[in-house]
Amino acid sequence: QGQLVESGGGSVQAGDSLTLSCGVRGFTLGGNCLAWFRQAPGKEREGVAAMRDGGGSTIYADSVKGRFTISLNNTDIMLLQMNNLKAEDTGMYYCAVGPGVKCPWALNERQFGAAYWGKGVEVTISS
């Protein structure tokens, strides 16, 4: 069974940076769409960033553009570099892998139809 395992969450101050990692276990990436979602307390889960694993354009939610960067390193670890963090970035962060053809809609959880989800890591930003 394939699975995704996140790490790197924590509690930091506003303005600080964090990098989240997501390891792929039990399956091999190939033509997939990789995405990060988050869920703030009392809110629905929302997509924040996505990319194709073979390269190509990335997409970001307006709320994180210019501050967050999604990438895939050479050992197939998904990364989410988060800079200039704000209190409203607080929440549980999840990585997800889905069909590559769905990447243009990857920030919409229902349209993305991810095949794999991580269990999430908690990120807390204090102002």
Length of the chain: 127
With 90 as the cut, is the pLDDT of residue 1 above it?
no
What is the pLDDT at residue 115?
93
Query: Distance between CA atoms of 107 and 62, rounded to whole angstroms?
Result: 11
User: CA nearest 34: which of 85, 96, 76?
Assistant: 96
What is the pLDDT at residue 74?
86
Q: How confident is the model at residue 92 (pLDDT cuts 50, 70, 90)?
A: very high
3-state secondary structure of 10: strand
32-44 average pLDDT score: 96
What is the pLDDT at residue 63?
97
What is the pLDDT at residue 55?
77
